[in-house]
Each structure stands twice: as C-alpha cells, then as structure tokens.
C-alpha cells in the first residue's frame, strides 16, 4: 500500500513554468507511447535544463511518428546529434544523454477543441510549448556541461 495525500499535492496544471527562451538541455528519458484513438506511436521526451538559473528544471516535448510528422523527427534527431543521412531503427536509448538548445514558448493550455483548459479551481493556465523548429545544435559548449 502507498499513502498519497492528494489534497496536499499540487495539480499538474500548477507546475512552475520557465520563461520563454532558449535553454541548454539533455535528454534524461524517452517514454514510448501509442495513441489510443489512432494507434500511432509517439515518444515523450523528458529534458533537463543543465545550465543557468533554471538548471535542474524538467521540460517535456512530444514527437509523433506519422508521415506528416517525420520531417520534425528528422529535425529533432539531427539537432540531438544523430546522423540522419541513412535509414535507422530509432530507439530511445540512442537519444538518452544527448543535448541540444531547446526553445520554449509560454502559451495558454487548450483542450482538443481549442478551448482554454481550466484547473480544479476553475482558472485558465499556461504551459511551456516547444515550437516545431525549437531545437538547435549545441556548438562550442563549455566543458563542464555534461554531454
């Protein structure tokens, strides 16, 4: 049995956001998922900011594996330092520990119908979003960054 004090746990919607900007990150986890409605595979990237005022903060992004989304898959993999000039059986383990510069925006959370999401208190809230091309290669990084 596990004791969980739900009233004293903040809602997921109330997480602290990082300001819009670019951050040096590394991939600390990649969760493989399948969309229930379509059966399409997607991965949830878990990034950790490794430098600056927000060092240690976790950011997430989702990468879908559909014909329409494959250009973004190629972009993300190339920015994380994987060669993209040949076909490959891509595995999450190939990306763990890889780093890049991740650009995030702050936007209002919206549901599938485009309506503002609300937390338990009925308040609308913001989330961090990674734009389509929000990945950049890390060049000339100081040696103390762990990748």
Least confidently predicted of 106-110, 114-118, 140-144: 140-144
What are 53-97's pLDDT values in tens digits? 999 999 999 999 999 999 999 999 999 999 999 999 999 999 999
Strand segments, DSSP code E, in 6-147 are 21-34, 41-49, 58-64, 99-108, 126-129, 135-136
Q: Are 128 and 105 in contact (CB under 8 A)?
A: yes
pLDDT of residue 71: 95
Q: Is the pLDDT of residue 25 over 90?
A: yes
Contacts of 35 by beta carbon, 8 Å cutoff, 6+ apart: 41, 42
Annotated domain spans of the chain: 18-136
The CATH number given to 18-136 is 2.40.50
> What sign has the CA pseudo-torsion 57, 69, 84, 96?
positive
- How far apart are the C-alpha atoms of 18 and 26, rounded to whole Å? 16
More confident residue, 13 or 33: 33
pLDDT (0 to 100) of residue 143: 41
Per-residue pLDDT, 120: 84
Alpha-carbon distances, residue 55 vs 18, 26, 52, 125 (angstroms): 11, 11, 5, 23
Quickly state the pLDDT bin for 15 (edges 50, 70, 90).
low
Predicted local distance difference test score (pLDDT) of residue 11: 61
In this predicted structure, what is the pLDDT of residue 16? 72
pLDDT at 10: 60
CB-count burial class (<10 Å; 0-12, 13-18, 19+) for 72: middle
Enclosing H/E stretch for 118: none
Mean pLDDT of the chain: 88
Give the residue, 145 or 38, on which the prediction is more confident.
38
């Amino acid at each position: 049995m596990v004791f969980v004090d739900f009233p004293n746990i903040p809602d997921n919607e109330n997480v602290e956001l990082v300001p819009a900007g670019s951050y040096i990150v590394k991939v600390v986890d990649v969760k493989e998922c399948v969309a229930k409605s379509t059966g399409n595979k997607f991965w949830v990237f878990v990034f950790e900011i490794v430098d600056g005022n927000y060092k240690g903060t976790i950011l997430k992004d989702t990468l879908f594996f559909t014909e329409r989304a494959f250009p973004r898959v190629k972009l993300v993999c190339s920015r994380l330092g994987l060669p993209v000039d040949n076909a490959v059986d891509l595995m999450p383990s190939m990306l763990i520990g890889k780093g890049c510069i991740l650009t995030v925006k702050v936007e209002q959370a919206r549901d599938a119908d485009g309506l503002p999401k609300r937390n338990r208190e009925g308040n609308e809230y913001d989330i961090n979003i990674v734009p389509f091309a929000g990945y950049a290669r890390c060049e000339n990084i100081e040696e103390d960054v762990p990748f």
